[in-house]
Chain A
Amino acid sequence: GQNIDQPTEMTATEGAIVQINCTYQTSGFNGLFWYQQHAGEAPTFLSYNVLDGLEEKGRFSSFLSRSKGYSYLLLKELQMKDSASYLCAVMDSNYQLIWGAGTKLIIKP
């Protein structure tokens, strides 16, 4: 079967760095997405990786290793507004998105 694993919850301190991991097992691979979802709101797109390596966008970076079936989202200089759930999703060989359950990130002052 197809599976996406990410930690259920993480806690970090304002101003610090946090890394959210995602491992996947899917039928084929056409890219990996990260979305941010604040409580009670819709997910919003953060990043897309299809080739191995690191993609940087301001305070957020996303890394992919296809051979290991692994990605991480790195958040630097954490702010209170970064408190949200972070969803990992993989597009399989049929271009269908397989979603992880999300990681709830709690930022403490």
Chain B
Amino acid sequence: SQTIHQWPATLVQPVGSPLSLECTVEGTSNPNLYWYRQAAGRGLQLLFYSVGIGQISSEVPQNLSASRPQDRQFILSSKKLLLSDSGFYLCAWSTGGSGANVLTFGAGSRLTVL
């Protein structure tokens, strides 16, 4: 069966510090991978998605970046965090290809920037 792991679960970082959130998927090949951010009272905001190694699409211009160094690994990074980067970050995967595929989410990473 497929599983998705996301870490760290909780992170408290000072403004201006770097960030690295990691997500890995097991039990499937060539998944579509996603990074979302969820702010209180708002819908899920798609940050990045990837359909293959090294292929990253950015949905929202900001100081975050994403990388996919391996087929089942997706990393969210920042060189300098802003207060507005605080939130609940969710990694998700779906089967590869286009179509209405169900998303399976990781457990989430709660980031607080002070």
Interface residues of chain A, those whose CB is within 8 Å of chain B, are 4, 8, 30-31, 33, 40-45, 48, 50, 87, 89, 91, 95-102
Contacts and interface: CB of A to CB of B under 8 A. Distances in A.
Given A30-B100, A95-B98, A95-B100, A42 B106 contact: yes
17 contacts: A4-B43, A8-B41, A30-B100, A31-B100, A41-B108, A42-B106, A42-B107, A43-B103, A44-B105, A50-B100, A95-B100, A97-B44, A97-B103, A99-B43, A99-B45, A100-B43, A101-B42
B25 to A, nearest CB: 14
A96 B46 contact: yes
Given A31-B100, A48-B100, A95-B100, A87 B106 contact: no
Interface string B89-114: 01000000011101111111010000
Contacts of A95: 98-100
Interface of B: 41-46, 90, 98-100, 102-108, 110
A87 B43 CA distance: 8
- Looking at chain B's contact residues, the main secondary structure is loop
Contacts, number: 47
Contact of B102 (A45, A96, A102): A45
Contacts of A48: 100, 102
Given A42-B90, A42-B108, A97-B46, A33 B102 contact: yes
Contacts of B45: 99
